[in-house]
Each structure stands twice: as structure tokens, then as C-alpha cells.
Amino acid sequence: MEHIHHALKFKYDLCIGCSHCTSVCPTCAIHVEDGHPILDANRCIDCGMCYQTCPMNAIYIEQDDFETIYNFKCPVLLVPSIFSAQFPEKVSQRAILSAIYHLGFKYVYEVEKSVDVLKEVINDKVKDESAEKPIISTFCPAIVRLIQVKYPSLVDNLLLTKPPLDVTALYIREVLVERGVAPEDIGIFYVAPCAAKIAAVKSPVGEEKSNIDGVINMNYLYNKVFRVIKQGVYTLREDEFDFHPLSKNSILWSLTGGEIKDIPTGRNLAIDEVHNVSAFLDKLENEDLDDIDFLELRACDESCAGGILCAGNRFLIAERQRKRAKQRPKTVTPQENNILNYKDYLKDNMAVGEVQPRSMDKLDDNISVAMRKMKKVFEITNDLPKVDCRICGYQTCKALAEAVVNNQADIRQCIFVQRILEQTDKLTTAEALKITKKVWGEVKVDKDSIKHLDLE
């Protein structure tokens, strides 16, 4: 099995074993063992639902050490346009930019700089009669992974084009080398609004290696930049280097509906939030909805404004982003956005390899074995209470049944099964306790840990 990188990690020292993460996971990738969540690397799509729900902040998102930017003579920051919408409205773009330079970056580019080029490629694809429709956007990496694991029949619909992040990185390298910067001196650091984007940089789908040298979490940079601004230690820069203002549509691109705004022809839909997307893809798989041309699908509610590394309320961030967009013209000229002068080079280097499905539903590689297992799963699920209480450590009764069939769990982890077995003397209290402790750890069922409850 290929190694799949995940940006979400658990801090067991902070985890209280509440299993909220288990319950919200849209791909059923988390179960509890020994009082802590265990992640199934093949199922996780890095959507971050678990991160958002964790009451203990016991899930963190790994990032590269910020200090590594100083390993490069020419550190470049690649920042999504949503970054500036994190700040209160009175904080100017120029102040944010100056503070970033103050931190040591030589150049700053916005990710969506390449949207002006990318949208042409998308429109060509939408007009292409031979393309598999609907074309599904690959902008949101959590969606790409969702389709790989849950909707393998739809991988051929994925747009095999680099997302804005990678196209802009391609441009940055090209333009800086032209300006005489040595290639080895260029270090491109990407500011990620979510875990999925980090995972996509660390193990890109359909590509060998990413063009990005390091990843910085958006809320980390927000705090760092805001502190510089608050303390007023930066010098306001007059020059903007390549940080030319984006077009209106490029600013709106990462919000819900942003991509399809740039597609004037055909029937195009924008759907956000992972459960909404799942429901739609279920429908798409069932029915022949071939009159839809393009699907913009985003894992987060309010798209990137709802990214789990955003600092603040998603609706306020989206509102600020829209306000910023309103002040800009719909399109920009090559004089305003230099990337348009590199259109041909970028278009030639924009394709990515095929995306491979890796179905999470498949019970076995051998159909006969899978059939036997499926039968067993049905039988076990039928006998289980179907209350999905998670006391067994799994998200649902069916998930427990599947784990049992795959020899990963004991059916006696079910509290209802325990009660039934106890009635027929097939399970002692001591044995039941041992099983429960294997799932929830020692503490939760330790009789000495009760201090305030009056159980007499």
C-alpha cells in the first residue's frame, strides 16, 4: 500500500477519549482503542471535521518549522487570498504585506494569481465534447481524496489540472530564475488554510513531488503577522514587488461559487460542506446526470473561508473577502498580472497524472472473499442494536460488524452483546470489564476514579 500522508495528528496526552472525532468523521476513519482515537490512513481525507469538533484541542495539524525559511536566500511566501480576510477590516493590505516582509520573506504572491490562466483551461475543458462530464474540480484536495476512497467510479471525472497553488508556484520559479535568482536559493512556502491542502503538498495526488518547499499553518502566520502589526515594528512598504491586486473573480475563487463564476457556458454547480458533497455524489453515481458540465465541490462549509486553520468566523471572513472583491475589476490585464505573459509555458506544464481510486468500501481484493465477508457483515449488523452508541469504539454498529469480520474487533465490544452474554453466563463481569478497558482504557471504568458521585 502506498504511503498516504495525513496532516492531522492526535495528541494523546491532551485527549480525554470522548470519541467525538469518531462520530463526526465522514469516511468513518476513526475508531477508539485503549481510550484514544486510531486513524485509518486509507480512509482519512484530511477534511478536518475531527479537528473542529475536538473539545480538548487534542488534534493538531503539523507544519514545517518556520525557521526553515531562513535556510533559503530567497524565501517566497505563497499565500491564499483568504488570508487577508482574517484580519479586521481596518487593517490594510499594505500593512499585512509589509508585516510579512518584516518576517523575512523576499517575495509574496497570492495563490489565486494563476486563476486568470487556469480559468481558460477549465473553460476549454467544459467546451470539450469528448471530456467525461461532469468535470469535477480538483481545487479542494479533501474532495479529491473523498472521490478516491468513496466514489471510485468518478475518478475519471476529476479535472487533471494543477490547482492554483501549484500553477502559481510554477510561475514563481520561472520568473525568479529569469530575474537571476539561483534556483537552489528559492524556497517557496505555502500558507495553508486547512489540513487537506497540507496533505496535498506532502503527498500530491497524480504527481510525483510538489513544487512547494514548506508549509505554514494559516492561523500560525495570522498570529505572527497580527503581532507585528499590533506592535508596529514593521516599515510600511511602498513597493509591492509582484503582489499585484487580483481580479474580482480571482479573489472570489476560493469562496463557494467562485470557480463556476468564471465559467459562462454550460450547466455548472457549486456545492460546499463534505456531507452535502457526499449526498450529491451519491446521486451522481446513481443517476445519469450527464447534462451537468462542471462541479465545484468544497469540503468546508463556506469553502476556504471555513478552512479549519482560518482565524475567525467563516461568515465574517467570507463577507470581508467579498467586500475586497467588490473593489476590484472583473478582469485584469497582463500589465497588472504578469502571469498572463507566461500563459503558454504554464498551460504546457499544468497537467497532472491520473488519479487512482482506492476504494474504502471494498471488503476484500477477492470478490468471493468479499462476498463471504459482506454476508457476515449483514448477519452481524442484523443482530446488533443499531443505536450507533459508539461504546464499542466504532462509529456505527455496521462499522463494528465490518471490523469484526476483518478480525480487527471483538463482537463482545458491543455493550448490548455483553448484557445478552451475561444473562446466559457466557461472559463474566470481569471479562466484560477487560474488553471495555481494551476500548476505553483503564481510567473510565476504574472504580477508584469516581470521587464525587454518590453511588452507595
Partner 1 sequence: MHFEYNVEGGDFTNAGTTSSKVKKMMKQLGVDPAIVKRTVVALYEAEVNIVAHAYRGVIYVDLEDTSVSIKLVDEGPGIPDINQAMQKGYSTASPEVREMGFGAGMGLPNMQSNSDKLTVNSVVGKGTTVEIVNYF
Give the binding site for partner 1 (CB under 8 A).
Answer: 152-153, 155, 282-283, 285-288, 357, 359, 361-365, 367-368, 370-371, 374-375, 377-378
Of 150, 39, 43, 32, the residue nearest 395 (C-alpha): 32
- With respect to partner 1, which residue has the nearer C-beta, 370 or 445? 370
SS3 (DSSP) at 357: coil
Please report how close the Cβ of residue 316 comes to partner 1 at its closest, in angstroms: 37
Of 202, 194, 217, 191, the residue nearest 304 (C-alpha): 194
Please report how close the Cβ of residue 45 comes to partner 1 at its closest, in angstroms: 16
Please report how close the Cβ of residue 34 comes to partner 1 at its closest, in angstroms: 28
Angle between the N-to-C axes of helices 195-202 and 141-150, in degrees from 0 to 180, rounded to the nearest 10 = 80
Tell me how far apart the alpha carbons of residues 101 and 175 are, in angstroms, rounded to a whole number: 19
Instruction: Tell me the three cell numbers of residue 117.
Output: 490562466
- With respect to partner 1, which residue has the nearer C-beta, 316 or 370? 370
Please report how close the Cβ of residue 315 comes to partner 1 at its closest, in angstroms: 32
Please report how close the Cβ of residue 374 comes to partner 1 at its closest, in angstroms: 5
Instruction: Tell me the three cell numbers of residue 207.
Output: 504527481
- Exposure string of 362-388, with b = 16+ CB inside 10 Å and e = fewer, is ebeeeeeeeeebeebbeebbeebeeeb
SS3 (DSSP) at 48: coil
* Residue appearing with cell numbers 476483518: 406
Strands of 254-384 (E only): list them.
268-272, 294-298
- With respect to partner 1, which residue has the nearer C-beta, 313 or 366? 366
- With respect to partner 1, which residue has the nearer C-beta, 153 or 428? 153
- With respect to partner 1, which residue has the nearer C-beta, 361 or 446? 361
* One-letter amino acid of 214: G
DSSP 65-107: -GGGGGGSSEEEEEE-GGGGGGS-TTS-HHHHHHHHHHTT-SE
Of 107, 249, 126, the residue nearest 168 (C-alpha): 107
Please report how close the Cβ of residue 288 comes to partner 1 at its closest, in angstroms: 6
- With respect to partner 1, which residue has the nearer C-beta, 9 or 398? 398
- With respect to partner 1, which residue has the nearer C-beta, 252 or 401? 401
Length of the chain: 456
- With respect to partner 1, which residue has the nearer C-beta, 226 or 280? 280
| Phi, psi for residue 132 in degrees, rounded to 5 | -65, 120
Please report how close the Cβ of residue 401 comes to partner 1 at its closest, in angstroms: 12
Of 72, 204, 68, 71, the residue nearest 145 (C-alpha): 204
- With respect to partner 1, which residue has the nearer C-beta, 61 or 155? 155
- With respect to partner 1, which residue has the nearer C-beta, 368 or 424? 368
Please report how close the Cβ of residue 428 comes to partner 1 at its closest, in angstroms: 36
Identify the burial level of 112 via C-beta atoms within 10 angstroms of its C-beta, where 0-12 means exposed, 13-18 middle and 19 or more buried: buried
Please report how close the Cβ of residue 260 comes to partner 1 at its closest, in angstroms: 23
- With respect to partner 1, which residue has the nearer C-beta, 178 or 365? 365
Please report how close the Cβ of residue 367 comes to partner 1 at its closest, in angstroms: 5
Please report how close the Cβ of residue 19 comes to partner 1 at its closest, in angstroms: 25
| Phi, psi for residue 310 in degrees, rounded to 5 | -75, 145
Tell me how far apart the alpha carbons of residues 369 and 87 are, in angstroms, rounded to a whole number: 55
First to last CA, the chain: 53
Give Cβ neighbours of residue 379 (< 8 Å, ≥ 6 apart).
none
68 touches 214 (CB < 8 A): yes
